[in-house]
Amino acid sequence: MQPTLSVILKNAQSWMNFRFPGSHHLLRDGIPSQTCCQIDEVMTRTSHLTHFFWSGQLLSCPSKEYSVESIANDIAQSRGGITLEGALRLFGVTMPNYSERDTLSVAIWTYASACFAHYASEDVYVVYGEWINETTSVWLNTEYPAIRANHRVERIWKIQAHLGHVEPAQQIWSSRSRALP
C-alpha cells in the first residue's frame, strides 16, 4: 500500500528528528528501491558542491507556472554549485512530473529534496521568487527544516530573484544560533 499524501507531508514536517541512515527509510515507503538508490548515488556524488535551493515564482510573469528554478540553476552553475534538479539531470535520473501531485510523485520528490538537504554542507543558498505558496513550498516545509537540522550546514543565504536581476545574497540563518530567522 502506498502512503497517503498526508502521511508523506507529516513525515516531511518532522525533519528536526530526521537522521541518516537510521530513519530515512520512513520516507522510502512506497518508492521503488531502484529510484531511492539512484537518488542516493546522485546526492553522494554531488555532496562536495555548494547546494542551491529555490522556491516560488516571479510576479511579473503572466503565468504562475514560471518558477525561479531556471534562475537558481543559472546562479548555481555560475558559482560552481548545483540545484537538486541539476544534479538529477547531470546523472541522468528520470524523475516523475511533480506538478501531477500524485502520491508517488510527491513521495519521490520529497525523498530527493530531503536527501539533497541532508547532503548539503557549509554555505547553502536559496533563490526566492517574488511569490511563494507557503502551504505547498517544498523549501519551507521540507528542505529548510532538514537543512537547519543538518549539523554540517553553517549558513543559509537567500537570493531574491526578480525579472531580469537578482539581489545580493543575504544571510538568513546561522548554525551558531540554530534559531528561526
pLDDT, tens only, 152-170: 999 999 999 987 789 999 9
Flag whether pLDDT at 61 surpasses 70: no
What integer pLDDT is reported at residue 168 of this predicted model?
94
The pLDDT of residue 139: 94
**Banded model confidence at residue 53, pLDDT cuts 50, 70, 90:** very high
Per-residue pLDDT tens over the stretch 16-26? 344 443 344 45
- Our CA angle for 133, 152, 26, nearest 5°, is 60
What is the rounded distance in angstroms from the CA atom of residue 48 to the CA atom of residue 40? Answer: 14
Q: What is the dihedral sign for C-alpha 90, 92, 93, 97?
A: positive
- Predicted local distance difference test score (pLDDT) of residue 98: 77
Asked whether residue 69 carries a pLDDT value surpassing 60, the answer given is yes
Residue with more model confidence, 14 or 72:
72
How much is the average pLDDT of 112-131? 95
Phi, psi of 23 (to 5 degrees): -120, 5
